[in-house]
Amino acid sequence: MRERKWVQEILLYSIVFLLTLPIFILLIWSFTKTWPWPDLIPKDVGLRGWRYIIDPHTKILKILCFSFFLSLAVTFVTLLVSLPAAKAIGQHNFKGKKAIQIFILSPIIVPPLAVAMGIHVKFIQMGLADTFWGILLVHLIPCIPYAVRILTNVYEALGTRMEQQARILGANRLQTQFHVMLPLLAPGLVSAGSLVFIISFSQYFLTYLVGGGKIITLSMVLFPFIESGDRAIASALSLIFIAITLIFFLLINKILRTHLNTQDYFYL
């Protein structure tokens, strides 16, 4: 028994190490000027990468705030849309259920590039191109399948008995959903929400096409620097990127924990 614990710990720490090492290297690169090949530490350090981010002409801080709220809004809408769908699929049997499931997953199967051009053309006609709402809508496409998938599993695991119980005890529909179902769903909402946030936050092509440069997100600023090999600026921007998603994860976790007063049921 003792030995097994030992093995487990080694495994755990090596996973943590493997996950944090790249981030640590990014941190070093963001301060590096020169780091010749055989050296273990950089030869020359500087603040160029971080200065670029703070410099007001680059507007990066503004873009950062905007990206954060855009993805927040996308997450909220995605969850709102996905909950009823997941409930229907997870708890009810109906004709054509399999087909609908596949249909909902199709954005993962069909490459977005194939449909994005058509969507863009339609959006131009509808006046949605280059607008915040257009971006929000188009971000839902890659996000919904993941959210529905995760929440379906949660609903399947929950079953319908809790809901029935609440109804029998006299709660009305709304009360049942808010006071009984929502706390039970909270862990699933955390995992679905985090995933959706990250997906929306890292969208590049769809934002570019539909936003047309009127809407600029962090990934659109980051990508050219990775492409042109500017390691200091790319590393600094990447770290901010990671930090934002971490902050979001902690935030949503905290809010759901304190307000809904739940413990770990299951994380998917």
Partner 1 sequence: MKKRILIFLLIGLLSISIIGCSSKVSTPVSKDVLDMEWSEVESAAKGSVVNFYGWGGDEKVNRWLDTVIAPALKDNYDITLNRVPMNAEDFLNKLLGDKQVGNEKGSIDVLWINGENFYTAKNNELLFGPFLDKLPNAQKYINLDEEDVKYDFGYPVEGYEAPYGKAQLVFIYDRAKIDAPPKNHIELLELAKKYPGKITYPAPPDFTGSAFVRNIIYDVCGYETFQTLEDGALENNVAPGMDYLRELKPYLWRKGETYPATVAQLNNMFADGEVLFGMSYTPYYASGRITDGEFSETTDTFVFDKGNIGNTHFLAIPFNAQNKAGAMVTINYIEGFEAQISKYNPEQWGDLPVLDYNKLSQEEKQVFDSIPLGKGGIPQNILMEHRVPEMPARFIPRIEEIWVQVLSKKGE
Q: Please, what is the end-to-end C-alpha distance for the chain in angstroms? A: 27
Rule CB under 8 A: is residue 112 a binding residue for partner 1?
A: no
Rule CB under 8 A: is residue 37 a binding residue for partner 1?
A: yes
Contact window for partner 1 (CB under 8 A) among 11-19, 47-55, 137-145, 159-167: 47-55
Q: Which of 8, 14, 20, 34 binds partner 1 (CB under 8 A)?
A: 34
Rule CB under 8 A: is residue 127 a binding residue for partner 1?
A: yes
248: nearest Cα among 20, 69, 111, 61:
69
> Alpha helix (H) ranges present in 46-181?
48-54, 60-91, 97-109, 112-126, 132-158, 161-168, 173-175
- Provide the 8-state DSSP code for 179: I
Specify whether the backbone of 96 is left (phi greater than 0), alpha (psi in -120 to 50) or beta: left
32 beta partners: 45
Q: Which of 101, 130, 251, 268 binds partner 1 (CB under 8 A)?
A: 130
Mask 170-209, x = binds partner 1 (CB under 8 A)?
Answer: --------------------------------------xx
Q: Which residues of 64-92 are buried (b: 16+ CB within 10 A; e: fewer)?
A: bebbbebbbbbbebbbeebbebbbbbbee
Binding residues with partner 1: total (CB under 8 A): 37
Q: Which of 52, 146, 197, 241 binds partner 1 (CB under 8 A)?
A: 52
What are the residues binding partner 1 (CB under 8 A)?
A: 33-37, 44, 46, 48, 52, 55, 57-58, 117, 120-121, 124-127, 129-130, 208-209, 212-214, 216, 220-221, 224-225, 227-231, 233
